[in-house]
Amino acid sequence: MISSRFAKLLSWSYLIALYGFIFLPVAVLVLFSFQDGRLPVPPFNGATLKWYGEVFADSRLMSALGNSLIVAIGSATVACVLGFCAAYALARFVLPASRLQRGLLISPMTVSYLIIALGLLTTFNWIGVSLSLWTVGIGHVVINLPLCFAIIYASMGDHQKNIERAARDLGAAEWQVMTQVSAPMLMPSILAAFFLSVTFSWDEFIIAFLLSRFDVTLPVEIWSMLRSGLNPKTNAVGSVVFLVSVALLLILELIVFRRTAKK
Amino acid sequence: MATASLEQRENRRAWGFVTPALLWTVAFFVIPFIVMAAISLATRKGREIVMAWNFDNYIEFFEKAHLLKGLFVSLEITFTVTIISVILAYPLAWIIAERVPQKWQRMALIMAILPFWTSYVVRSYSWLLVLAQNGVINNTLTYLGVISEPLELASTRTAAVIGFVHFFVMLLTLTIYANLVQMPPNYRRAAADLGANGFQVFWHVVLPLTLPGIMVGAFLTFVLCIGDYITPQILGGNNELALPQVIMLQLGRRADFPMAATLSIILMGVVTLAYIACARWLKMERT
């Protein structure tokens, strides 16, 4: 009995210790974004919203934030549409070499972002495409397309196939089946793919760093802020980024998983 | 029945749906990769890149110590991180699966991966806050009188390893947990009924059944860790450079695209080797 109580105590302390480790940096980041002083380290001098004020007054940061949102939503939309169409074709029709096609669509997942970015950079350099938010967006679609395809493809079960067949028998055209029957049935996984893609693009650094020039996204702007060392303003903008990501996750949890759970 | 023609029509339509995604992947992933591979066979003359179609860059990589060292630094960091992360994550996944009440498990997992959603750059910066010379740890220890001189924590390999482990513990916890909850409890009961003690049940039944989860997580850790530039750059400093840092150095200061491409191909080769080593555990097909 004693040993089982000891084991229980041990496992709970381990749990708490590891959660402490996981949350320590985030807690420090957020706490010292309210620091009333020039250094975001202990001792905590008292709370102020001054640094958040500075973040929102900083036009460079704000335009980077806008750029990030545009790229994230744009690239996630493109990736979702392409991924959905491809998943629809490969799950519902018998196509030659479909294994190979699936492998090809998934393959960018297995390669480091750095290599994807470098490949695109050398290619754009070679054919003379100048770098912009468009090139960043192209790169983000490359990393999000496999994700969207895999999520949506995995959720295309056979029971939906029969409903689609019924719609076709009742005279629906293929595009009607797709947009009015399949897409609504698969909406939870499509939304999951979309929000995951938005978060990945929103947080992504190396592709955005290598493939942008004058207009940059938020992580790249934060990167250049790091040169000034520890600064409560960096804490503040980091906390904002964290908050947005958590908000996206909450939306995902509430809309998508709630709905799947209800079924 | 006109099945054949109907099938043909359907097939044509299906190609229409799948082609845009395939074209995108070929145009912006496959072709860039081929271009990069070709550039790795070129040389740099001043600011011009001349196609030489030889393996000089690869030979140079093995001859120049500072380039080769990048690979070894990366491999050492990656192996250390992977092993520490597995050791830390396994008990956590087990505790969440076994000790945490069922209805809280989902919450516990969501909490565990919450910091995962801070951007990569911000997460490394947060660790800098903790580990810097005037950071949380040094300040607290000095305040408590444990140390008089600040410890050298940031800009070391240890800092990079801590930053990485923080990230990958969450990932491995997820993959191992997924395996643990799939395991029917009868297996363990059967083993116990047949006379196995707690350790034997774990070693001969639980561990082998959760090996796929460990290997999938370890492989992801390996791939993401060895290809990462941010964590070693922010936390590891410039004393010993990991391979991605060496690659970025070729791009930035020297504008040496051929060498950067060469190093990337080598990086990819290493990842491919890791994939081959783990392949038997990674086969996940849609059922």
Q: What is the pLDDT of residues B47-74, one digit of tens each?
A: 777 787 888 889 888 888 888 999 999 9
Question: For an interface test with A, which of B49, B98, B122 has the most A Cβ atoms less than 10 Å from its Cβ?
Answer: B122
Nearest CA to CA, how far is B185 from chain A (Å)? 19
Residues ≥6 apart with Cβ < 8 Å to A168? A174, A177
**Residues 104-123 in B contacting A (C-alpha not used; CB under 8 Å):** 110-112, 114-115, 117-123
For residue A142, pLDDT beyond 50: yes
CA angle B35, A87, B275 (to 5 degrees): 50
The answer to whether the Cβ–Cβ distance between A93 and B11 falls below 8 Å is yes
Which candidate from A8, A22, A42 shows the least CB-CB separation from B169?
A: A22
Distance of CA A243 to the CA centre of its chain: 14
What is residue B287's predicted lDDT score, i.e. its pLDDT?
32
For residue B11, pLDDT beyond 80: no
Place of tokens 């908050």: A243
Is B223 in CB contact (< 8 Å) with chain A?
A: yes
* Spatial separation of the C-alpha atoms in residues B135 and B129, rounded to whole Å: 5
CA angle B175, B181, B182 (to 5 degrees): 90
CA angle A243, A248, A254 (to 5 degrees): 120
Question: For an interface test with A, which of B10, B17, B71, B270 has the most A Cβ atoms less than 10 Å from its Cβ?
Answer: B17
Contact list, B244 vs chain A (CB under 8 Å): 112, 114
- Please list the residues that pair with B45 across neighbouring strands: B48
Size of interface A-B (CB pairs under 8 A): 239
What is residue A259's predicted lDDT score, i.e. its pLDDT?
58
CA dihedral B59→B62→B67→B71, nearest 10 degrees, is 130
- The CATH number for A198's domain is 1.10.3720.10
Residue A197 lies in a domain: yes
pLDDT tens for residues B167-212? 899 888 888 888 888 877 788 788 888 888 778 888 888 888 888 8
Which candidate from B36, B132, B286 shows the least CB-CB separation from A154?
A: B286
Domain of A122 in residue numbering reads as 59-262
Q: How confident is the model at residue B286 (pLDDT cuts 50, 70, 90)?
A: very low
The answer to whether the Cβ–Cβ distance between B121 and A205 falls below 8 Å is yes
Q: How confident is the model at residue B2 (pLDDT cuts 50, 70, 90)?
A: very low
Q: What is the DSSP letter of A233?
A: H
Contact list, B161 vs chain A (CB under 8 Å): none
Is A139 in CB contact (< 8 Å) with chain B?
A: yes
**Residues 64-123 in A contacting B (C-alpha not used; CB under 8 Å):** 82-83, 85-86, 88-90, 92-95, 101, 104-105, 107-108, 110-116, 118-123
For residue A138, pLDDT beyond 90: yes
What is residue B29's predicted lDDT score, i.e. its pLDDT?
95
What is residue A77's predicted lDDT score, i.e. its pLDDT?
96
For residue B1, pLDDT beyond 50: no
Identity of the highest mean pLDDT range in A127-141, B131-145, B269-283: A127-141
Is B1 in CB contact (< 8 Å) with chain A?
A: no
Scanning every residue of chain A, which has its alpha carbon at the shortest distance from the alpha carbon of B263?
A115
Strand stretches in chain A, DSSP E: none
What is residue A127's three-state secondary structure? helix
The tokens describing A138, both together, are 């192209």
Cα torsion angle, A190, A192, A193, A199, sign: positive
For residue A263, pLDDT beyond 60: no
Helices A232-251 and A50-57 cross at an angle (nearest 10°) of 80
* Spatial separation of the C-alpha atoms in residues A118 and B28, rounded to whole Å: 11
* Spatial separation of the C-alpha atoms in residues A60 and B236, rounded to whole Å: 28
Question: For an interface test with B, which of A122, A196, A234 has the most B Cβ atoms less than 10 Å from its Cβ?
Answer: A122
What is residue B4's predicted lDDT score, i.e. its pLDDT?
57
The answer to whether the Cβ–Cβ distance between A107 and B39 falls below 8 Å is no
What is residue A210's predicted lDDT score, i.e. its pLDDT?
93
Distance of CA B70 to the CA centre of its chain: 17
**pTM score, two decimals?**
0.86
What is residue B199's predicted lDDT score, i.e. its pLDDT?
80
Average of per-residue pLDDT across B88-94? 91
Residue A53 lies in a domain: no
- The DSSP line for A160-180 is HHHHHHHHHHTT--HHHIIII
What is residue B5's predicted lDDT score, i.e. its pLDDT?
65
Question: For an interface test with B, which of A118, A202, A225, A243 has the most B Cβ atoms less than 10 Å from its Cβ?
Answer: A118
User: Could you state, in order of their start, the residue ranges of all structural domains in chain B?
Assistant: 71-282
Cα-based distances in Å from B1 to B4, B6, B7: 8, 9, 11
Residue B49 parent element (H or E): strand B48-51
Residue B108: which of A227, A243, A11, A206 has the closest Cα? A11
For residue A252, pLDDT beyond 90: no
Nearest CA to CA, how far is A122 from chain B (Å)? 6
Is A235 in CB contact (< 8 Å) with chain B?
A: yes
* Spatial separation of the C-alpha atoms in residues A100 and A102, rounded to whole Å: 5
CA dihedral A232→A238→A244→A249, nearest 10 degrees, is -130
Distance of CA B154 to the CA centre of its chain: 22
* Total domains, chain A: 1
For residue A105, pLDDT beyond 80: yes
Average of per-residue pLDDT across A168-197? 85
Q: How confident is the model at residue B89 (pLDDT cuts 50, 70, 90)?
A: very high
Q: How confident is the model at residue B107 (pLDDT cuts 50, 70, 90)?
A: confident
* Spatial separation of the C-alpha atoms in residues A80 and B83, rounded to whole Å: 36
Average of per-residue pLDDT across B212-228? 87
Tell me the CATH class for B71-282: mainly alpha
Which candidate from A12, A125, A149 shows the least CB-CB separation from B21?
A: A149
Backbone angles phi, psi at A35, to 5 degrees: -60, 130
What is residue A62's predicted lDDT score, i.e. its pLDDT?
92
Residue A27 lies in a domain: no
Q: How many C-alpha atoms does A157 have within 13 Å on its Cβ side?
A: 6
What is residue A35's three-state secondary structure? strand
Residue A243 lies in a domain: yes
User: Which amino acid belongs to residue A27?
Assistant: A
Residue B191: which of B176, B180, B203, B178 has the closest Cα? B203
Is A51 in CB contact (< 8 Å) with chain B?
A: no
Residue B179: which of B213, B219, B217, B216 has the closest Cα? B213
Backbone angles phi, psi at B197, to 5 degrees: -85, 175
Residue A38 lies in a domain: no
Other Cβ atoms less than 10 A from the Cβ of A44: the count is 13
Residue B227: which of A200, A203, A111 has the closest Cα? A111
Q: What percent of chain B has pLDDT over 70?
A: 95
Query: Who wins on pLDDT, B168 or B116?
Result: B168
Scanning every residue of chain B, which has its alpha carbon at the shortest distance from the alpha carbon of A247?
B117
Q: How confident is the model at residue B3 (pLDDT cuts 50, 70, 90)?
A: low
For residue B35, pLDDT beyond 70: yes
